[in-house]
Amino acid sequence: MHPAATTSNDVGSGARPGPSQAFADVGAGSVPRRFVRGAWAVPAGVGLVFSDAKLVSLSLVPMLVHAALFASLLWLGFTQVAGRAIAALAPAASDTGWWSSILSVVVAVVVAVAIVVVAAVGSVLLGSVLCDPFYDLLSERTEVLLVGRSVGRPFSWARVPVELGRELGGTVLRLLVWGCVALPLWALAFTPASVVAAPLGMVWTWLFLAYEFLSRSLMRHAVQPRQRFKPIFAHKAVCAGFGCLSWAASFVPFTAPFLVVGATRLYLALAVYDRAPSLLTVEEKLKFRAEKT
């Protein structure tokens, strides 16, 4: 039997983590409380990375790759896509009414915002493929720091080609799922339904980003693909909070490693209270619960 954890540790606290500390129940309380606790997993990931030299070293390559991808997608969007999209969606040049000028500005703004959002989300998705080995190592190291061992299957360079192929296929599938909902909602931005469509599109993107980063831990804990959406939608407020701050952080191109580490920490905080399936033992779950049930 493991000794009881001695220090309560909220998932968003700045305390240096370690296997002697316990997780607060991020899935308990009111919707705003759960949202905030999910969001605080992002800065907690930043603090955790800078608390450990190995996490810092593992983060360097993904930071550079993420920054390069974000800049490249922005360049492609504004040089190759923006002009064509505005020409296709804006009113014809023969329309000279005041409404035409206003609509042209609205179209230009919407296209620009869409390009930035796609660049941010796209750099996260492509980065998850190209940096898959580093993200696995980051997640594994985070588990070692927080629970004293790597709970999932140990990382192996021999599996990298297989894992890269798996991650590429998974990324394409996730992008299709996200686009099937996000694109129609964006289209509604040109209608009076934009009052509802815009917030829904934003929340959907937040949940999608939460899934993108939490799915790595779910996979490492042998959760079957068809079961990985369940914890996300079962804890929508927590995951929306994490996704919200992850979405904002994605516009800063080198933040992906922090999000991987923060998501791993958030996943463990859910898992110790049986709010997400995991390979944690019963003894470990009891040990790391700050709120005994």
Chain segment 258-274, per-residue pLDDT in tens: 999 999 999 999 999 99
The pLDDT of residue 250 is above 70: yes
Look at residue 169 and tell me if it is in a domain.
Answer: yes
At residue 8, the pLDDT reads 45
Most confident range (mean pLDDT) of 3-7, 13-17, 49-53 is: 49-53
Domain count of the chain?
1
**Mean pLDDT of all residues in the chain?**
82
The model's pLDDT over 21-45, given as tens digits with 9 standing for 90+, comes to 689 999 999 999 999 999 999 999 9
At residue 186, the pLDDT reads 72
What is the separation, in whole angstroms, between the first and last Cα of the chain? 18
The more confident residue out of 57 and 104 is 57
The more confident residue out of 16 and 291 is 291
At residue 128, the pLDDT reads 80
Q: Would you call 84 helix, strand, or coil by DSSP?
A: helix
User: In this structure, are residues 48 and 73 in contact, taking their beta carbons and an 8 Å threshold?
Assistant: no
Provide the pLDDT confidence category of residue 14 given band limits of 50, 70 and 90: very low
What percentage of the chain reaches a pLDDT higher than 90?
Answer: 37
Look at residue 279 and tell me if it is in a domain.
Answer: yes
> Any alpha helices (H) in the chain, and if so which ranges?
31-39, 41-50, 53-76, 82-89, 98-130, 132-147, 160-187, 194-220, 229-234, 236-250, 256-271, 282-287
At residue 164, the pLDDT reads 61
Look at residue 8 and tell me if it is in a domain.
Answer: no
Look at residue 10 and tell me if it is in a domain.
Answer: no
Look at residue 7 and tell me if it is in a domain.
Answer: no
At residue 193, the pLDDT reads 73
Q: Which domain holds residue 60?
A: 28-287
Provide the pLDDT confidence category of residue 224 given band limits of 50, 70 and 90: confident
The more confident residue out of 4 and 87 is 87
Residues in a beta bridge with 22: 8
Distance CA(270)–CA(147), nearest Å, equals 13
CA-to-CA separations, 42 to 92, 227, 246, in angstroms, rounded: 45, 24, 7
The pLDDT of residue 12 is above 50: no
What integer is the mean pLDDT of 120-148?
Answer: 86
Question: What is the helix (H) or strand (E) element at residue 266, kind and residue range?
Answer: helix 256-271
Q: What angle do CA 107, 110, 115 make, to 5 degrees?
A: 125
Provide the pLDDT confidence category of residue 16 given band limits of 50, 70 and 90: very low
Tokens (6 digits) for 187: 């289209």
Distance CA(145)–CA(170), nearest Å, equals 28
Name which of 28-32, 54-58, 90-94 the model is least confident about: 90-94
Q: Which residue has the tokens 């492609």?
A: 76
Q: Would you call 207 helix, strand, or coil by DSSP?
A: helix
Look at residue 99 and tell me if it is in a domain.
Answer: yes
The model's pLDDT over 167-209, given as tens digits with 9 standing for 90+, comes to 666 667 767 777 777 777 777 766 777 777 778 888 888 998 8
Distance CA(205)–CA(66), nearest Å, equals 19
The type of residue at 102 is I
Look at residue 63 and tell me if it is in a domain.
Answer: yes
User: In this structure, are residues 119 and 107 in contact, taking their beta carbons and an 8 Å threshold?
Assistant: no
Look at residue 4 and tell me if it is in a domain.
Answer: no
At residue 54, the pLDDT reads 94
